[in-house]
Amino acid sequence: MLPTNDDRYKMVEKTMKKLGYERSALIETLHTAQETFGYLEIDALKMIAKRLRLPYSKVYGVATFYHFFRLKPKGEHTVVVCTGTACYIKGANEILDKFEKKFGIKAGETTSDAFVSLLSARCVGSCSLAPVVIYDNKVAGKLTSQDALDKLEETLS
Amino acid sequence: MIESLEDLNEIAQKKLCAQGDCEDEIRVCIGSSCASLGSEDLSKEIAQKMEQEGLQKRCRVKGVGCNGLCSEAILVSHQKKGATSEDLYTNIEASQADDFIALLQNKKDLKEKLYDLQQAFFFKQKKIVLENAGYIDPNDIEDAIAHGAYQALFKVLDTMEPKDVLDEIKQSGLRGRGGGGYPTGLKWESVAKVHSDTKYIICNGDEGDPGAFMDRAVMEADPHKVLEGMSIAGFACGASQGFIYVRAEYPIAVEKLTKAIKQARKYGLLGKNIGESGFSFDIDIRLGGGAFVCGEATALIASIEGGRGNPRQKPPHLSDHGLFAQPTVLNNVETLANIAPIIQKGAEWFKNIGIPSSTGTKVFALTGHIKNTGLVEIPMGMSLRELVYDVGGGASGEKAIKAIQTGGPSGGCIPEEHLDISVDYDSLKKIGSIMGSGGLIVMDESSNMVEVARFFMDFCRSESCGKCVPCRVGTTELTDLLDKFVAKKASKSDYELLKNMCEVVKESSLCGLGQTAPNPVLSTLKYFEEEYLEGIADD
Ligand SMILES: Cc1cc2nc3c(=O)[nH]c(=O)nc-3n(C[C@H](O)[C@H](O)[C@H](O)COP(=O)(O)O)c2cc1C
Ligand code: SF4
Ligand code: FES
């Protein structure tokens, strides 16, 4: 169990309090928890369930329903390949393929040494720059698959 | 605190006067595409350098939302004092701050980066929803007020009854921009009619169509337009609480909306007893979690209530049994952004734009193999050809345009020979696609239509919430079948199965996601059948 005096936990508590510990506060609370902890650890989910008087199964069910929530920690670096329509038309799949091969993992997974998380997104809203890859929160657009690989090297070095 | 229209006008005047002290204005686009190339730093650097050079009195710098020409990012415009139009500079690099200082000092011109504003991309557009996008600073409510924000709200509070507002919106012919095209006035009226102490107005900012960013741009560039539209909806329907449901993947939109709400509260434009009228209305933001199905009305409500986004059977409709079981209006971002202009300028004015069955304008996100990718707002009734070739500038590469796709995963593909049809709800539907929320993807001869259909089906498969069998199992089976066609290993019976299965999924799914998932397949079957036949292996 997480210690309740963990500062990060206070942030989560604050969100629940703001929303009056209503059951409808669940998703907002999960967002805050993910923001503060980086991902949703099982202990945090259990704590939230208790505080909002919800069955743990419900909290777990909601956390796993939405793509945005992660139940595992992210790697040191995060690379997000956009696979929305605009990027798909401009060859995003080829980029994703190359990245998957390079790391030997699938989109959504993290390398076993916790170095890189490879993610795919369905449109990050910069379609005019398609195809788009986000390297550690920095957006790069209009990439050929070679550009994409070069930028990857740059990010990881 | 703004307590009356006079107060509002005073703030607008003051702001305009203060701005008048400066001779010029430089506007740097900080919309998502430009921001990703570093435009925010550029904006800061220009401001800093101006101060160093003592130019801050001559010119002010502000960050503005997207003006639409995202393919030419970064965009910087320069408005000289007294000039009626701006000089727009395109393809600017984040490191070019010095050039703008030199420009102001008349030491340099940037002619090679100057964009010709007489091009069809600009003059064929008609901006209502995006009228302020690219001009106002979304972080500054006073700038919005100086550009007319909240005038319509005060008109409503001072001179209109809820019924007048309903009549005006009905008269205007405004139809929902979220895809369905349901008349907004009728939707509001059905909620206004219900007696209940608690009612809700929800703004659908989930923008699930993967490849569309219209709503994002509106929320980022002119958030007060959305807030004002919601308040007016609240007044007309008798609601005092609103929610904006935004995708968590849109952090900038969330930030701008949050700021806008805070400022509006501070100025007394949201909250209790707005403008001493007795009308109270407040708005909160709820974050989505990246599930396409949550754009569907009942799923969205389940999500705001804190649960999994599973749709439910309708009826009961939202007008009787919506959020927390109370009467609820759900409108799309763009729909709500049309409200203030309609109230301000009148239904007659609005009706004169577009065509009788589809009034007003529509914002499109042009992407794919097209020259001018970005956001455009056009009057309804323009032909698709004009939209793609004139406004969009035609194909981006050597290859000819083969088809366009509208409506995202729920829509269809339209072959080039049908591009002469008019852009309106009914024409697009007749030809097997839909208006959708405004994503428009252009594909050239290099695109394989079966692969495109597979792409959308796979998307629906992964986004199916799993509640009902036809959609959960059907989209998986259909993806597998389409895989066979893409690999050219399908059989004749697969072809029949594909057609039948599409019908079954369409007819028997519970919600809109499943009901429309087969559309991309059906429309490509209709217009590009030969590509499917090529996928059948000879036996
Ligand atoms: C699967 C699915 C996804 C949807 N996604 C969105 C969306 O992202 N944004 C939106 O405004 N409407 C979306 N809609 C339509 C909404 O359910 C609803 O009809 C719309 O928000 C109503 O607003 P309007 O009348 O102003 O168009 C979606 C519908 C379905 C079935
Ligand atoms: S049609 Fe699909 S998304 Fe809709 S309820 Fe059924 S399974 Fe869920
Ligand atoms: S499809 Fe990739 S950014 Fe929109």
C-alpha span between B392 and B405 (Å, rounded): 14
Q: Hey, which residues does B441 pair with through a beta bridge?
A: B367, B405
Q: What is the pLDDT of residues B431-474, one digit of tens each?
A: 999 999 999 999 999 999 999 999 999 999 999 999 999 999 99
What pLDDT does residue B298 have? 98
Topology at the third CATH level for domain B449-533: de novo design (two linked rop proteins) (1.20.1440)
**Domains by residue range for chain A, with CATH:** 7-65 (no CATH), 77-156 (3.40.30.10)
Q: Is the pLDDT of residue A115 over 70?
A: yes
Number of Cβ within a 10 Å radius of residue B178: 23
What average pLDDT does range B231-244 have in this prediction? 98
Percent of chain A residues past pLDDT 70, beyond the cut: 97
C-alpha span between A148 and A92 (Å, rounded): 10
- Domain B23-117 matching CATH 3.30.2310.20: the answer reads no
Which B-chain residues 408-427 have CB contacts (< 8 A) with chain A?
A: 408
What average pLDDT does range B48-57 have in this prediction? 91
C-alpha span between B123 and B119 (Å, rounded): 6
C-alpha span between A153 and A151 (Å, rounded): 5
Domain range annotation of chain B: 23-117, 148-349, 361-443, 449-533
> Are A123 and B307 within 8 A, CB to CB?
no
Q: Is the pLDDT of residue A5 over 80?
A: no
Which B-chain residues 166-195 have CB contacts (< 8 A) with chain A?
A: none
pLDDT band at B211 (very low <50, low <70, confident <90, very high): confident
Return the CATH class of domain B361-443. alpha beta
Q: What are phi and psi of B443, to 5 degrees?
A: -120, 135
Half-sphere exposure of B206 (CA within 13 A, CB side): 28
What average pLDDT does range B213-234 have in this prediction? 96
Q: Which ligand is nearest to the CA of A92?
A: 3
DSSP label at residue B112: G
What average pLDDT does range A122-143 have in this prediction? 90
Which A-chain residues 5-64 have CB contacts (< 8 A) with chain B?
A: 22-28, 30-31, 58, 61-62
Token pair for A95: 């980029």
Atom index in ligand 1 nearest the CA of residue B181 equals: 27
Nearest in space to B337 (alpha carbons), one of B214, B421, B246: B214
Pairing outcome for strands A116-121 and A77-82: parallel
Half-sphere exposure of B249 (CA within 13 A, CB side): 28
CATH superfamily of B148-349: NADH-ubiquinone oxidoreductase 51kDa subunit (3.40.50.11540)
Nearest CA residue ID for atom 8, ligand 2: B465
What average pLDDT does range B41-68 have in this prediction? 92
Ligand 2, CB cutoff 6 Å, lining residues: B 293, 311, 464-468, 471-472, 509-511, 513-514
Minimum CA–CA partner of B68 in chain A: A128
pTM for the full model?
0.96
> Are A65 and B309 within 8 A, CB to CB?
yes
C-alpha span between B461 and B197 (Å, rounded): 40
What pLDDT does residue A4 have? 60
Q: What is the pLDDT of residues B149-202, one digit of tens each?
A: 999 999 999 999 999 999 999 999 999 999 889 999 999 999 999 999 999 999
What average pLDDT does range B417-427 have in this prediction? 96
